[in-house]
Amino acid sequence: MPFIQGMDISFVDEIECAGGTYEVNGMQEDVLVIMKNSGVNAVRLRIWNDPAGGFCNLERTLVMARRIKALDMHFLLDFHYSDKWADPAQQWKPQAWENASFEELTEAIYAYTKHVLTELDNQNTLPDMVQIGNEITPGMLWPDGKVDGDFNTDEQWRKFTELVKSGIAAAKSVSPSINVMIHIDRGGDVDASLRFFEKFEQYEVTFDTIGLSFYPWWHGTLESLRRNLAELAVRFDKDINVVETAYPWTIDTSEGRAFIVDKEDQLHNGYPAAVEGQAQYLKDIIALIKETPNRRGAGFYWWEPAWIPSKEEWSVGHANNWSNLTLFDYEGRRLSSMNALSE
């Protein structure tokens, strides 16, 4: 697989259903075509079990997967194993699994993962790679698979890794060649990253790719990311993907917009909140990942480049607080920062 220059476009389906469109050089175009023509070669989608609003479920994933594969792009499917966001602050079970015993939960993960991937395989759109969980640093499917705080015990790690192993086994049963990623959120934290993946080694979790999230305002500097990539590449014989990153093209809130990143002190030194600063960040993070020792820097995904504010409120309860971290402006016009992918 070539170096992955990927984009997470999980919101695109809902955006387009709300009337949102994308354009380049004044002409409206399929957002996937715009991306591919700009140097994107991979697409990431999240999947929720039974989400409110009906987006990012299996039915809509099947539709989006056909679009991805029609353009011959690498496809990464991110299993959250929840009806909503799963991240370090929330890893809640889907409602249908809430009362399951641990044994039933393990079986449910296997059956669900296998079902989703079989349905995708049946339409010739099997993902090239899957994530078994999203940013699972504190575990997943709480409380059964929780491993942070008071839950950081040998027994909880055993249960957590058994749940992960069940998802991995299901994926490999559909296709032994499918690449399995394990994704945590600590892109700039060497110690936390090593501790996590050493635990997975201890509990004999067999997987293919390490995934990291890296957002400067949460995870540190590019230099801290560089150190982490180097340490992980030397310690573990696995490819590493910075599977989530982003940077603002503006922090101007004068139009009444509210952003997660809206202050100068949240910015990375040397990268202004402007299209030019965003472009330089993109160029530099690509170069940094490619320099990972042992050629283990497998690529990156931008999160979420196309989440334009075509709705005031989204089906999962989010406002438009990410619309300055995209690679399109508010009206869906491609930003020149995307040129960094082909330079």
Amino acid 113: pLDDT:
98
Span 229-263, pLDDT tens digits: 999 999 999 999 999 999 999 999 988 889 999 99
Is the Cα torsion angle 180, 32, 124, 50 positive or negative in sign?
Answer: positive
Amino acid 200: pLDDT:
98
Q: Is the pTM of this model over 0.95?
A: yes
Amino acid 316: pLDDT:
83
Q: Answer yes or no: 198 catalytic.
A: no
Q: Which of 14, 135, 162, 304 is catalytic?
A: 135
3-state SS of the chain?
CCCEEEEECCCHHHHHHCCCCCEECCEECCHHHHHHHCCCCEEEEEECCCCCCCCCCHHHHHHHHHHHHHCCCEEEEEECCCCCCCECCECECCHHHCCCCHHHHHHHHHHHHHHHHHHHHHCCCCCCEEEECCCCCCEECECCEECCHHHCCHHHHHHHHHHHHHHHHHHHHHCCCCEEEEEECCCCCHHHHHHHHHHHHHCCCCCCEEEEECCHHHHCCHHHHHHHHHHHHHHCCCEEEEEEECCCCCCCCCCCCCCCCCCHHHCCCCCCCCHHHHHHHHHHHHHHHHCCHHHCEEEEEECCCCCCCCCCCCCCCCCCCCCCCCCECCCCEECHHHHHHCC
Q: Which of 14, 162, 244, 304 is catalytic?
A: 244
Amino acid 62: pLDDT:
98
Amino acid 312: pLDDT:
84
Ranges in the chain, pLDDT < 70: none
Span 15-41, pLDDT tens digits: 999 999 999 999 999 999 999 999 999
Tokens of 248: 């603002």
Q: Answer yes or no: 231 catalytic.
A: no
Is the Cα torsion angle 187, 190, 192, 196 positive or negative in sign?
Answer: positive
Span 171-204, pLDDT tens digits: 999 999 999 999 999 999 999 999 999 999 999 9
